[in-house]
Each structure stands twice: as C-alpha cells, then as structure tokens.
Amino acid sequence: MDKWLSHPTALKIISVLLGILLFAVVHIDPETSPQSLTSSIDTKIIEAATIVPIGLDEEKYVLSAMEPTVARIVVEGKISSLYAASNSDYIVNVDLAGLKPGIQELPLIVKLPRGIKEVELSPRKVTVRIEEIVTKSFDAQVMVEGDVAAGFVLGGPEIVSEGGSAVQVTLPKDDMDKVGLVAASIDVSNADKTVVNKKAKLVVYDTEGQEITGAIVKPSTIHAEVKVTLPFKQVPLQLRYSGELPEDMSLVSVKPSVDFVTVYASQEDLDAISIYDGAVLDLSKVKQSGTIKVKAPPVDHIQAVNPGEIELTIVVEVATTKKLSNVPISITGTGPGLTAQILTPASGTMDLEISGAEAVLADVVLDDVAIVAKVAGLDPGTHTIALELELPPYVQPVLGDGQSLSATIEIMDPTVSNGNDPEDTEVGGTPVDPPDEGSEGATPGNNGSGSGNANARSGGDKSGNQHALVDANRRTPSNHLIAWKKEDATV
C-alpha cells in the first residue's frame, strides 16, 4: 500500500480526483439542487370547463336550468402530459339519471386524462331544475305579411300539406300552458298572383305573441299558399245549349252541380257582370240519361271562373206530343194612344201542338203557353206579324208543312177619323218578316242554343226557372224554319 501511494502515477490520479471533488463542493448550491430533480412536474388551471349533464331521460324530462354551467379545475402532472391534453379532455359531468321533476343539488364528476390528477375543483356541486316534457297537437295557421299589388285582392291563406294543418308540439309542461299559436309566415308584398311556400317554417308563439324558443314541432314546415286574385264575386250560372238531340228524344231535366260560379275580373268589369253564361251543353253528345261535364271557360271580360268544369245531371225520355186548343194570341208593344186588334186568325186564338218528354208534357196546361205578337215601333195600319211562342222548359212546338206562325194585326189611331172614304182607308201594310238572326225577337242560333230540346227546366218545375238561353229558331219535323222565342231565364 505504501509503495502504491508513493508511486508517482498514483499520486497524479489522486490529485485529479481531489480537484474534481473540490470543484463540485464550490459550484453546486444545496438549496437549488432539489428543484432540479423535480422540474418535470407542473400544474395547470382550466378556468371554465363546461359542465355536461348526463343520464337524463330526454323522452320524459328536460333540464330547464343549471347553475353554474362551468367549473374551475386545477390539475397536476408531468409537463409532457399537461401539454399533450387539450381543454376538451378535462370533462366535468353532472349525473341526472333517475331524477324526477324539481330543483335539486347534485355533485360534479371530473374525468381527467391519464397521468394527471385533480388538485382543486370549484364548485363541487351544481343546482339543476328538471321539468316534465309533454307533446300536444295544434292546428297550424298561416300569418300573412305585406300588401298585395294594386288592383288585386287577398284571399284566405290555406295549408295544402298532405297531412293537413295538424302538428305536434313538444315543450316543458309549464311552457306548454303558455302556447297561444303555432304558425308560419308568408310575405305577399306586391304580389299579383297566388303566393306558394312549400317549406314554410313553423314557429310557436305564446299568448303575448312572443316566440317560444326550444319548442320541437313535427313536422317543422308546412306547404302553404295565399290566394292573390283579381276582384271576384258569385253570379248565377246560366247554361247555354248547342246542337240537337235525336228527333225521338227530349229533355226532362238538366241539373248542374252548382247554381252559382265565382268569376274574376277587374272591378270595373265585375260591376257589370250579373250572370255567367259561358258553359255550353252540346245536345248532340247526349245519348241517354246520365252525367256529363262541360267546361266553364272565361268569356267576355271575365278573366277566370271557378269551378272551371261543371257536372250536369241529365234526364232524357222518348219524345211525345200534346195538342192545345184555342191558345190566345196576346199583343204587346202598342204605341201610346194606339190600339191594336187581331184580324187573322179572326178568333184571336190558335191551336198548337207541342212536343216533349211525357213527364214534362203531363204538367203543361193552357196557362203555361203564350203566343205573342210584338208590335212595338209599328205605325197605324195592317201588318203581318211573326208570332213568338213562350213555352215551358224542355217543350217545343210541332208545326206541319206549310203551317204559318203569324197573324195579321191592325194598328189604329183613335184620334184620326177615316171619314168613311174608301180611299182614306188603309187596306194593306208592310208585312213583317220573321226576325233575322241577331234582330230583336230572335236569338242567334250560334249563341250556344239549339233545337227545341234545348229548353231548360230543373226537375220538372213549372215555375219556368232554368239554366238556358233558348233559341228562337226551331225546326219542324220536315225541317222548315220558323221563328219563335222563349224568354231567357236565370236560376
């Protein structure tokens, strides 16, 4: 040992080791060295971690309030672990499983990332309010906003969804008691046609008109529309006829599915419209009793008609005839101060054969038929007048070959004396031909009218109410044209 210590090399090695020890003693601070050994551990503060409720039976209950909604967390762990975790990894829950409605105070549950531990949690409890939720059915409505374009009128809003207006609203029980209206809004500002919204959002309002947020509405949207139209009004339907029934057939009744239609036009034109006569029944298409549909198109100044199609219930029967004797001829239209008398036929009456369905003719009596001689505008003298017939609905005259439907009328001015001078007596006059088409006393044959079968009556009513414009041109079985007229009638 002494030899080893006295060896020069050994002395050098010992000297180096002593120098290192002296350096360490001088330069290492005893108070700081413990910190260098724990420098890998640190703390972190999450000031506002969101408190997330869990376990609530959301089909029955709703969390209507929670105080507070965030918590402060202080955690500790390795620096590497703290840096690796984001704030969303620090989870704070409140367990609501099995709770009943009411206000309760519950503890918080903290879930931290691995390697990190909780140092502090504030607060440790929260107060929650649980409410029962209920579902109730409501009829949705449409609220209209704005003003339509000038000259147009606003119709009633309508829900056209397949499921109708019924909707289901889910809310807490206390809020449900406040519901006043479930509605969708449609803006019609400056609209000149119907406004349609196929996905109008439904909103729940309370009794004071304020929106109730958080309401669940099923369905959440509806298909709604608001009518924007020209001015309109309802007017009586007056059916017109064209064509002819087969010779052996006659109408018993024609009953439309509606007696009134709605017509649309500018207000000025609308004020002048009293009837609608645009629907025409083509009698040539009627082969038997039954129903038939006819179009109701716009006519004259009418822009639209509702309904646009009308169903007619038609009854036809085999035609038969009936004779009426001594039907009186009446004179109308005599000028002021003038008198008129019938020269021929001398009796002032005519025998008349009429045709129609047996059920119709059975009710026809002499008082239902009139033969009229219109002398309006004629001067004193003798005139041959084409007579006009006034017949019940669905009845037509039967005239044989060569049979004339005319009379000789003498018009006199009592204030003028004839002086018993044959040369002063007017022995003749200007014959009056049957009225031309379009003249007074005749109805144009192309005005939607037709054969005598076009007379109209509803259900055999003797009152004469009808849906027809009756043609003045009637043909005899031998196809001779005669002139007669039935006064127009309106239901």
pLDDT, one tens digit for every residue, the chain (491 residues):
566 566 677 767 777 777 777 776 665 555 544 444 445 889 999 999 999 999 998 888 989 899 999 999 999 999 888 888 888 899 999 999 988 899 999 999 999 998 899 999 999 999 999 999 999 999 999 999 999 998 899 988 999 998 899 999 999 988 999 999 999 999 999 998 899 999 999 999 999 999 998 899 999 999 999 999 999 999 999 999 998 888 888 888 899 999 999 999 999 999 999 999 999 999 999 988 899 999 999 998 899 999 999 999 999 888 889 999 999 999 999 989 899 999 999 999 988 889 888 888 888 999 999 999 999 999 999 999 999 999 998 888 888 776 678 999 999 988 875 544 444 434 333 344 444 433 333 333 333 333 333 333 333 333 333 333 333 333 333 222 233 333 333 32
pLDDT of residue 331: 94
**Tally of helices (H runs) and strands (E runs) in the chain:** 7, 33
**Top-level class of domain 140-229:** mainly beta
Tokens 């803006």 identify what position?
187
CB atoms within 10 A of CB 40: 10
Tokens 């503060």 identify what position?
45
CA-wise closest residue to 46 among 81, 11, 90, 107: 90
What lies within 8 Å, CB to CB, of 283 at 6+ separation is 241, 242, 243, 244, 245, 450, 451, 453, 454
Cis peptide before 219 (omega within 30 of 0): yes
Q: Is 2.170.120.30 the CATH classification of the domain at 319-483?
A: yes
pLDDT of residue 431: 41
Q: Can you tell me whether residue 397 is helix, strand or coil?
A: strand
Percentages helix, strand, coil for the chain (3-state, rounded to 5) are: 15, 45, 40
pLDDT of residue 248: 83
Answer yes or no: same fold for 233-315 and 319-483: yes
**d(C-alpha 222, C-alpha 436), whole Å:** 60
Q: Which two tokens stand for residue 340?
A: 């008129």
**Top-level class of domain 233-315:** mainly beta
Tokens 């918590």 identify what position?
71
Is this model's pTM higher than 0.75 or not? no
**∠ CA 121-123-127 to the nearest 5 degrees?**
140
What lies within 8 Å, CB to CB, of 264 at 6+ separation is 229, 230, 231, 232, 270, 302, 303, 304, 305, 306
User: How do the domains of the chain map onto residue ranges?
Assistant: 39-133, 140-229, 233-315, 319-483
**d(C-alpha 386, C-alpha 432), whole Å:** 7
How many CA atoms does the CB half-sphere of 477 hold within 13 Å? 13
**d(C-alpha 475, C-alpha 307), whole Å:** 34
HEC readout, 158-172: EECCCCCCEEEEEEE
Burial of 132 (0-12, 13-18, 19+ CB in 10 A): middle
CATH number of 39-133: 2.170.120.30
pLDDT of residue 20: 79
Going from the C-alpha of 185 to that of each of 157, 161, 179, 465, the distances in angstroms are: 10, 15, 17, 47
Q: Which two tokens stand for residue 204?
A: 């729940």
